[in-house]
């Protein structure tokens, strides 16, 4: 398990993302399935309309023979050649196919059918062997029975989960005896903060989300079609201890927990690009 720093759920850049400050959903209590459906619709729309997003840039990298994986996960996961790998919440499959390029036998899962469609197309166009399944991760045990050498999830997966302990149980269920679960995630401390002006001085950060989990998600308005129309996205917070405890309670053993003083995209204006990109 691993953790690293930066903010929320969607590595879209300022021009694609319009945020209003998160607030507790108070007027209308919705069912968890409603929140998940709303988020799924947003991911479908982002896949379709935000061709300039970081996710599309990752897919383009893979398309031209490169890798979208960062050095952190490449080094911490180690060699994947000949190993089976399940990628949870794989979006358009850029990382999944990057692992395939390194010799893993990969399966990617995501709830957004447009993302899975794009992942399948990317696999076809690159000739990289892969299996992609469209499924809510919570429903995965009903459609996937295998076990894997490596279960992998990264950057922006936890905030979509209403029930982290159940997710951890599902992740653990897919690790074959002797296999590993690996998570690289944005540091939950940085998820607390937001900036009103993403292009400003960076000195106006304010606390906008809880650090610890609450059953009621934070709600924020995001632009999802690129046409200026806003819709509500829902996200849940989990503190570092809650994440580690959920995974341990699911029966996994902790091998290491590394905190890195980097973000993988320009989450706050004060961040500067490192020599390694
Ligand atoms: C920030 S992206 C993850 C990106 C990932 N690091 C990658 O490899 O590209 C979050 C993904 O989680 C997916 N997602 C959100 N809720 C989900 C759920 N309940 N089940 C499966 N996928 C879900 C979204 O569709 C989206 O593609």
Domains of the chain, first to last: 13-249 (3.40.50.150)
The closest residue, in CA terms, to atom 8 on ligand 1 is 90
What's residue 172's pLDDT? Answer: 98
CA–centroid distance, 109 to ligand 1, in Å, is 8
The closest residue, in CA terms, to atom 15 on ligand 1 is 160
pLDDT in tens, 67-97: 999 999 999 999 999 999 999 999 999 999 9
The closest residue, in CA terms, to atom 25 on ligand 1 is 112
Q: What is the DSSP letter of 64?
A: T
Determine which helix (DSSP H) or strand (DSSP E) holds 110, and give its type and residue range: strand 105-110
CA–centroid distance, 273 to ligand 1, in Å, is 25
Locate the ligand 1 atom nearest the alpha carbon of residue 87 and give its number. 8
State how far the Cα of 88 lies from the Cα of 7, in Å rounded to an integer: 20
- Ligand 1: does its nearest atom lie under 6 Å from the Cβ of 76? no
0.75 exceeded by the pTM?
A: yes
Locate the ligand 1 atom nearest the alpha carbon of residue 36 and give its number. 19
The residues facing 131 across adjacent strands are: 107
Residue 182: count other Cβ atoms within 10 Å of its Cβ.
Answer: 20
pLDDT in tens, 150-180: 999 999 999 999 999 999 999 999 999 999 9
**Which of 28-42, 67-81, 196-210 is predicted least confidently?**
196-210
Of 22, 31, 3, 74, give the one whose Cα is nearest residue 261.
3
Taking the CA atoms of residue 26, residue 32, residue 34 and residue 40 in that order, the dihedral angle to the nearest 10 degrees is: 120
What's residue 140's pLDDT? Answer: 98
**Structural contact between residues 146 and 107, judged by C-beta atoms closer than 8 angstroms:** yes
Locate the ligand 1 atom nearest the alpha carbon of residue 92 and give its number. 9
């Amino acid at each position: 398990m691993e953790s690293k720093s930066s903010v929320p759920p969607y590595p879209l850049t300022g021009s694609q993302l319009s945020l209003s400050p998160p607030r507790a959903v108070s007027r209308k209590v919705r069912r968890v399935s409603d929140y998940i459906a709303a988020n799924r619709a947003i991911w479908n729309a982002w896949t379709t309309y935000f061709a300039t997003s970081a996710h599309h840039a990752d897919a383009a990298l893979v398309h031209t023979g490169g890798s979208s994986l960062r050095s952190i996960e490449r080094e911490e996961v180690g060699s994947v050649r000949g190993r089976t790998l399940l990628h949870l919440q794989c979006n358009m499959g850029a990382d999944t196919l990057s692992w395939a390029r390194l010799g893993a036998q990969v399966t990617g899962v995501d709830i957004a059918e447009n993302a899975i469609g794009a992942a399948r197309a990317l696999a076809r166009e690159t000739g990289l062997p892969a299996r992609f399944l469209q499924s809510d991760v919570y429903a995965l045990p009903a459609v996937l029975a295998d076990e894997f050498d490596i279960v992998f999830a990264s950057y922006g997966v936890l905030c979509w989960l209403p029930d982290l302990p159940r997710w951890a149980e599902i992740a653990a269920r897919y690790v074959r005896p002797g296999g590993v679960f690996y998570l690289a995630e944005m540091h939950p401390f940085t998820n607390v903060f937001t900036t009103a002006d993403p292009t400003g001085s960076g000195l106006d950060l304010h606390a906008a989300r809880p650090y610890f989990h609450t059953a009621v998600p934070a709600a924020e308005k995001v632009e999802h079609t690129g046409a200026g129309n806003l819709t509500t996205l829902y996200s849940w917070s989990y503190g570092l201890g809650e994440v580690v405890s959920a995974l341990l309670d699911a029966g996994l053993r902790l091998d290491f927990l590394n905190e890195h003083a980097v973000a993988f995209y320009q989450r706050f204006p004060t961040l500067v690009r490192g020599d390694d990109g």
